[in-house]
Amino acid sequence: MPIISKDDFSYHTNDCPDVGDGMRTTSLPEEVTSIDDLECSCWDKYESLDELD
Ligand SMILES: [Zn+2]
């Protein structure tokens, strides 16, 4: 389940060490269509968005 950073509204995994204070969200926005659209390195362990819970 992704987390949205309250600082810059970037998306992170729920175990990201860098997200700090964030809000849980149930889904990613429609404009995010691949892992490559997510900037934080915490997504590197996922090969595709299909692996997200
Ligand atoms: Zn992150």
**18-33 confidence digits (pLDDT tens):** 998 899 999 899 999 9
Q: Residue 41 carries which DSSP code?
A: G
Q: Give the pLDDT of residue 51.
A: 84
- Measured in angstroms, how far is the CA atom of residue 32 from the centroid of ligand 1? 15
Q: Is the pLDDT of residue 34 over 80?
A: yes
pLDDT band at 1 (very low <50, low <70, confident <90, very high): confident
Q: Is the pLDDT of residue 53 over 80?
A: no
Q: What is the pTM of this model?
A: 0.84
- Measured in angstroms, how far is the CA atom of residue 7 from the centroid of ligand 1? 12
Query: Pick from 23, 13, 22, 17: which is nearest to 45 by CA?
Result: 13
- Measured in angstroms, how far is the CA atom of residue 26 from the centroid of ligand 1? 16
Task: List beta partners, residue 24.
Answer: 3
